């Protein structure tokens, strides 16, 4: 083979308007034998996100009936909200949008759990929410600014919904959680490296313009907080949230207790 022969690329890189970049799934670990997860494995569980990274992380919980139904919520809340409120309200709206679409699904039945998430990168210089880069020039400027700032925050908000067994108003239980991580870029990153990374197109579909789970890790010196939060779904916090909202959804005993209390107090007339 000639020394000048170059390896054939696997395919063209994603463009700045490609919303479905290719990913290679990793092997799944053994399922966690927890009561909440065991119960959910026989029921509909919906991830209200098209993110392949969130799907991969959530798949580690072994939820065999996991469905991917991206939310149609336009994510157009005013940027005058604080970054915390912006991502929290966006996650809630994503979950509620899918809930309204699926709660009366006659073919598949109502979902047992809906999980939505929103991840944002916060510009450390002014607290501005960094979106996905829209051009190569913006991509370079974004990563250069993150390098110059040194550190920046990544927030992921999650919203989980389950139908109430009692069906009392509003018909569902909703729980939320927000995870924050601090990411420090390597101060020694050169302009040449930033340009080379941008031209891989790995970060074009990611807030902040880099993928921590891939080649983008060469830009990062350290992370304080959850690693998978930076990727898009903090699994430890997600599991706790799922367990909490499922417990709240099982409210029939609570309602029965309230009825009995009302009878004892003379509040209910037979």
pLDDT tens string for the chain (270 positions)? Answer: 444 444 444 555 566 765 455 555 556 678 789 999 999 999 999 999 999 999 999 999 999 889 999 999 998 899 889 999 999 999 999 999 999 999 888 889 999 999 999 999 998 887 889 989 999 999 999 999 999 999 999 999 999 999 998 878 788 999 999 999 999 999 999 999 999 999 999 999 999 999 999 999 999 999 999 999 999 999 999 999 999 999 999 976 555 445 444 445 544 433
For residue 143, the tally of other CB atoms under 10 A from its CB is 25
Quick one: which of 104, 131, 128 has its CA closest to 118? 131
In a domain, 5, yes or no: no
* 186 counts as catalytic: no
**Region of residue 75 (left: phi > 0; alpha: psi -120 to 50; beta: else):** left
In a domain, 270, yes or no: no
In a domain, 53, yes or no: yes
Looking at 18, 76, 118, 251, which residue is catalytic?
118
Q: Of all helices (H) and strands (E), which one includes residue 239?
A: helix 235-249
In a domain, 112, yes or no: yes
Domain count along the chain: 1
Determine the structural domain holding residue 109 and report its residue range.
35-264
According to the 3-state scheme, what is the secondary structure of 15-37? CCCCCCCCCCCCCCCCCCCCHHH
Six-digit token pair at 266?
């003379």
Give the model's pLDDT for residue 129: 93
- CATH no. for residue 223? 3.90.950.10
Beta-strand relationship, 45-47 and 66-68: parallel
pTM, full prediction: 0.82
CB 31 within 8 A of CB 37: yes
Beta-strand relationship, 151-163 and 220-224: unpaired
Give the model's pLDDT for residue 252: 63
CA–CA separation, 179 and 237 (whole Å): 8
In a domain, 188, yes or no: yes
CB 118 within 8 A of CB 233: no
């Amino acid at each position: 083979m000639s020394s000048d022969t170059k390896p054939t690329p696997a395919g063209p890189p994603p463009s700045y308007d490609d919303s479905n970049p290719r990913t290679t799934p990793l092997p799944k670990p053994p399922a966690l034998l927890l009561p909440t997860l065991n119960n959910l494995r026989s029921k509909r569980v919906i991830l209200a996100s098209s993110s392949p990274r969130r799907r991969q992380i959530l798949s580690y919980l072994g939820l065999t009936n996991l469905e991917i139904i991206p939310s149609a919520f336009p994510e157009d809340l005013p940027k005058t909200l604080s970054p915390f409120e912006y991502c929290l309200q966006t996650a809630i709206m994503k979950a509620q949008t899918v809930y309204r679409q699926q709660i009366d699904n006659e073919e598949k039945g109502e979902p047992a759990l809906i999980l939505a998430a929103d991840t944002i990168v916060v510009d450390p210089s002014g607290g501005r929410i960094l979106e996905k880069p829209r051009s190569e020039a913006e991509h370079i400027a974004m990563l250069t600014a993150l390098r110059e700032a040194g550190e920046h925050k990544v927030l992921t908000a999650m919203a989980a919904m389950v139908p109430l067994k009692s069906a009392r108003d509003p018909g569902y239980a909703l729980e939320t959680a927000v995870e924050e991580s601090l990411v420090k870029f390597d101060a020694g990153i050169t302009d040449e490296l930033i340009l080379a990374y941008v031209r891989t197109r790995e970060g074009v579909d990611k807030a902040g313009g880099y993928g921590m789970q891939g080649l983008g890790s060469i830009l990062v010196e350290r992370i304080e907080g959850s690693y998978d939060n930076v990727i898009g779904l903090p699994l430890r916090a997600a599991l706790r949230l799922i367990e909490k909202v499922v417990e709240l959804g099982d409210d029939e005993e609570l309602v029965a207790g309230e009825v009995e209390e009302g009878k004892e107090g003379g509040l209910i007339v037979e």
